[in-house]
Amino acid sequence: MGYYDEENEKYSQKQKGNRGGWFLAGAVGAILGALLMIFALPVLSNLNFLPYDLQLGGEEESETTQNEEPGPQKNVKVDVNTAVTNVVDDVSDAVVGVVNLQEAGFWDEKGEAGTGSGVIYKKDGNTAFVVTNHHVIADASQIELSLSSGERVPAELLGSDQLTDLAVLQVNSEKIEKVGDFGDSDKVKPGEPVIAIGNPLGLQFSGSVTQGIISGTERAIPVDSDQNGQVDWNAEVLQTDAAINPGNSGGALINIDGKVIGINSMKIAQSSVEGIGLAIPSNLAVPIIDDLERFGEVRRPELGVGLQSLSDISSYHWQETLKLPKEVTNGVVVMSVNQLSSAGQSGLKELDVITEFAGEKVQDIIGFRKELYKQEVGSSVNVVFYRNGEKQSLDIKLGKQSIQGS
């Protein structure tokens, strides 16, 4: 008599033996099927029977996420001749080095007092014209240009203007090939890409190119032209973060179309400031350049007076000395009058307080000069002023400025 458990164990052993045979047969079949697929897939792919492309061999597999379908393959060609490099190729030869040579002493030869940059803006027959900064060529006894080829040629100063910090040179055009074209600086917008070309650190890094954007337009920078500690003028400039370093002064600020939209002039040099470069807008520079080229000076109108802003005078004197009404808080005070000038001939006197000029309100000396320089030499303008507390007016014919003044 046997037991139930023994019979069940025998049955189980018999069943296990049968499964092992089937498993072996299945494994052999799977291996044969896999080998068949390996050899068959390339053939099917070549015959375009597969709904997808099959890549075999050592090609890299593209990475896809679980939710992405592999996209079509394409070749990408990168062209290093970008818009920036094309602009640099077209304009860089028009930017030159400007060398300021000065007498070092009676027995000494001329020595380099400084170097900067310049832009060749016109070629006329045997003469080429170059714009640079006034401070680059100030007090020079001789000026040389360093061309992109490294060759130096002598240059002649045609005229210079301290107020706008611009100067014009002329040079023999025999070795001049490229000329820069001025663009419209009034169309420049913040964020627009720009390129600065110049010679930072003297001629050590000649033809250096830096790229940035326009950070701001119509920036006003105070200028003390006569170095007397008082602001004489607010220079309107473009602000850029393109690197501008010593030696870049007078170089070109160029837009992406290859047009000169500014003449690099200065950089805010403070330890806490980084990336603030300034350039004279082309639309303000071109009229000054034209005057310097034609006349050797800027033909500005002149009233013939010495002025001081009312705000710079103690309020005590507003009523006690100038006798001004309490509502008059802005204007310029006539501190001196050239009796041979148009103002002197017209009857303007010391301590007159000018509050309106050519129909515009006068806030201070900077605003007055801004309106004055909009006028033409020889034109007649109306001047409103207070004398001993009484409001008066005169029509004055403007003369031509002979020295820096008003």
DSSP states along 1-68:
---HHHHHHHHHHHHHHHHHHHHHHHHHHHHHHHHHHHHHHHHHHHTT-SSS----SSPPPPP--TTP
Q: Each residue of 211-263: pLDDT tens digit?
A: 999 999 988 787 776 666 666 677 889 999 888 877 889 999 999 999 999 99
Mean pLDDT of 96-102: 91
Please determine, for residue 50, whether its predicted confidence score (pLDDT) is greater than 80: no
In a domain, 406, yes or no: no
165 is catalytic: yes
* Residue from 93, 161, 165, 352 carrying the catalytic annotation: 165
> Under a CB-based contact definition with an 8 Å cutoff, are residues 189 and 238 in contact?
no
Does one domain contain both 283 and 312?
no
Does one domain contain both 363 and 275?
no
* pTM recorded for the entire structure: 0.69
In a domain, 69, yes or no: no
Mean pLDDT of 18-46: 57
In a domain, 77, yes or no: no
249 is catalytic: yes
* Residue from 135, 160, 225, 341 carrying the catalytic annotation: 135
For Cα atoms 211, 217, 221, give the angle at the middle one, nearest 5 degrees.
Answer: 105
Q: Where are the alpha helices (DSSP H) in 63-143?
A: 83-91, 134-137
In a domain, 340, yes or no: yes
Whole-number pLDDT of residue 7: 39
Residue 44 lies in domain: 1-52
* Residue from 215, 249, 265, 309 carrying the catalytic annotation: 249
395 is catalytic: no
Domains in the chain: how many in total? 4
Q: Each residue of 358-402: pLDDT tens digit?
A: 999 999 988 898 899 889 999 999 999 999 999 999 999 999 876
- Given 175, 199, 228, the domain boundary residue is 175
Mean pLDDT of 129-157: 93
